[in-house]
Each structure stands twice: as structure tokens, then as C-alpha cells.
Structure 1
Amino acid sequence: MPERDIPTIRVADTADRTAIAAMLARAFAEDPATSFIFPDPEQRAKRLPRMFALLFDEDAHGMRLMTESGEAATLWRGPGRNRTSWLDLLLHALPLVGLFGTALGRALAVSNAIDAHFPAGDYWYLHIAGCDPASQGKGLGGATIRSGLERVAGSGLPTYLETPSEKYIGFYRGLGFEVIGEWTVPKGGPRFWSMMRPVP
């Protein structure tokens, strides 16, 4: 992308919560994991904005980045903060039950499988990365991820992510990540690929 076309990436704050959650809901509308959690497309469209709003809140202790107009965003967790604590779960217990309803078991199956496959050691965790379908193909998602990678480069730590979409493996490889594992969520859940980007 020519230098003049490089988008401005900024830190997202609480005022961006609703717009980012709605954008991520559109970005993940056909994602294998969200489709497993919410098999019904109408329920998925209704519940995903609430789910991503909660995830936006959970990642307040990490790093939340977005393009200036919110076409793409990334949510990061810092070293040692990849797992959701029991305190966080208790604080969100009622919202979680209200959000997931009968899908709670499938949501916990995905969450528990992700937790079980985190690698050992310290690293930055690229928790969520999404781009509005209407803005895909313009390099905005990649620019937002690269901005995060540049910001954590001074930590001297690698970066980790997992994806349930095989089609994105090449995209992440282009950003320096390599597959370090492959696994499946139990009880008919999706397959995931774990990927790590070593210290530059």
C-alpha cells in the first residue's frame, strides 16, 4: 500500500465500544466459531454485537486498536493476561447467561478449548482481529494488526493468536506468524490453528 494510503490507526476507547462491537459482529457473521456457538443466523446477528461489547470490555487492560473510522479493529491481551480470570467470569456471570442463553455450553466449550491450547511462557495475545466486510480487501485489517505488532515490538516477546478459519492462515503467515498447532473443539466444534510470531 502506498505510504499516502496507509490508514491512521488509533487506540479505541469506551466511546468506540458500540461501533466496534457492531463492526466485529459483521466481520464474524460467518466465522466457524461464532457459527458453532450460535447456529441460527438470526440469533447470531442479534447476539454477536453484545458478545463483542463484552470482549471489548474484557480487553481494556490490554490494547484496543482501530482505524480512524472503525472499519477494522484489533483487541490484544498483554503477557500473562491471555486467560479470562474467575473474577471476570463472576462479574460477567449474569450478562453471560443473558447473552448466550442455551448457547452457553457451546460458548464455554470454545472458550475452554482455547484456554487449554495456550502455549507456555510470556507473549502478546492477538485476541480479536476483524474488518468490516464492506471494507475488506483494502489492507485495513493488515494495517491494524501491523500497528499492534509495531507497538509490542519493544517488549522482546513473541505474539500468539488462534484462528478457526483456514483461509486466513496465509494472511497471518504474511505478517510473520507460523502454525504451531492444530486442534478441534470437542462435541462437534470447529477446528482451530494456533499461530505464533517469534520475536522480530
Structure 2
Amino acid sequence: MTVRLGVRSDGAAVAAMLARAFQDDPVFAWIFPDATVRARRLPQLFRQLYASDLRGGTALLTSDGAAATLWRAPRRARVGWGEMLRHALPLLGALGGALPRALAASGAIEGRMPPGDFWYLHIAGCDPAMQGRGLGRQVLGAGLERFAGRLPCYLETALERNIGFYAAAGFRVTDAWRIGRDGPRLWSMLREPV
């Protein structure tokens, strides 16, 4: 299967796929504790995140859209208040009452990012029905081929089982931490330039 650049018109389909992929993710479960609310809100939220990541970077998708990586370019990893205010209404519509937890998670994540320039693997997901077929590895590899030149690549994961997957691609754990006192545990991972 080939990997292609994501475009704006892919937003709804990619958002629906990512919502399925992240339904049980610890960070999103913490933001939206009710599973029914989470299932309803995640497609809206991922539509906003996909659009933001296209403005600040690149999306790579398998040709069928079953797996995707959303990369934020150097100096664009942190979403500024200006962008958040410009898109406040759709973001508020996606988050509803979960806005305080989402802002806490976003602030904690941005606060752990490394200094300097790096490519940020913001989101990587594969449709649960298609997992185990190497699609995630394929879109991750395409991103690394494209971006892992002179700058490091950075990500965080809330799933301990993902550490080995990313380590096999050259990432190493640089930190383990929690969102607030009661939030999920995350691992920061960095891949040095090759």
C-alpha cells in the first residue's frame, strides 16, 4: 500500500478513523471520562486537530486512509493562543465541558516538549480493524524518511505497549510523566537526526 500526503478533503474520514483508533486511549479517556460522550466528541475533535496539523505541518496517510501520521513542523509544535482563538468556536463545540481537562492535557504535553527545533509526531493512528498489518509502521516510516534528516523527531505516547514500536523506529524514551496529579502517564520519546 502506498503512502500519500493528506489534504483538507481527507479531514472527515481521517477524523472518524482516528476517533476509532483513540477511543480507549488514556489521555482521551481522561479528557472525556464517559465513553459515550468520548465516542460522540472525538470525531469532531480530530477534525479540528487534523485541520490544525495541516496548517502547522503535514499529514501522511495510507492510500485507503486506514492509517495516518500527523506531523507538526519545526517551530510549529506548540499551537499558539492566536490559532486557538481563531478556531475557538469549533474547538469548544468539539470539547464542550471537557475544555478544562483538554487545556490541562495540552499544557502538560507542550510543557514537556524538547527545546530547539524538531519535527513533532503529534498523532499516529490506525483503524482498529486494520491493525496488525504493518500500516502504522508504513506511515511512520514514510514520515521518518521525509523528516528525520537534520532535525530530531519527537513524540509522546500514553500507551506503554507503544514504546517498543517506536523504539524499533529509532526513538528512545527521554522522560516518563503524568498529566497533573490524577491524569494518565505518558512517555516522551526522541529520535536523533540520522
The TM tier, using the shorter chain, reads: over 0.9
- Look up the match of 2:17: 23
Letter in 2 for 1:9: V
Deviation at 1:153, TM superposition (A): 3.2
Evaluate the alpha carbon distance shift between residue 10 and residue 135 of structure 1 in structure 2; reply closer, same or farther with a 3 A threshold. Answer: same
Aligned residues: 193
CA RMSD of aligned residues (A): 0.8
Deviation at 1:14, TM superposition (A): 1.2
- Look up the match of 1:3: none
Letter in 2 for 1:159: C
Partners of 1:173 and 1:161 in 2: CA distance:
11
Q: Which runs of 5+ in 2 are unaligned?
A: none
Partners of 2:50 and 2:91 in 1: CA distance:
14
- Look up the match of 2:142: 147
SS in 1 for 2:148: helix
Which of 32, 40, 49 is the equivalent residue of 1:46? 40
2:193 matches 1:194:
no
4+ aligned runs moved over 3 Å, structure 1:
none
Map 1:90-109 to 2 at 5 A. 90-109=85-104
Q: Describe the superposition over 1:8-67 as per-residue Cα deviations: whole angstroms up to 9, x where unpaired.
A: 000010111110000000000000000000111111110000110000110113110100
Deviation at 1:68, TM superposition (A): 0.3
Partners of 1:98 and 1:158 in 2: CA distance:
34
Partners of 1:124 and 1:99 in 2: CA distance:
26
2:4 matches 1:10:
yes
Q: Describe the superposition over 1:144-197 as per-residue Cα deviations: whole angstroms up to 9, x where unpaired.
A: 01000001134x111000011111001100110000011100141111100000
Which of 84, 88, 91 is the equivalent residue of 1:89? 84
Percent identity reads 54
Partners of 1:97 and 1:110 in 2: CA distance:
15
Q: Describe the superposition over 1:127-158 as per-residue Cα deviations: whole angstroms up to 9, x where unpaired.
A: 0000000000000001001000001134x111
- Look up the match of 1:124: 119
TM-score w.r.t. the length of structure 1 is: 0.94
Letter in 2 for 1:196: L
Map 1:155-166 to 2 at 5 A. 156-166=150-160
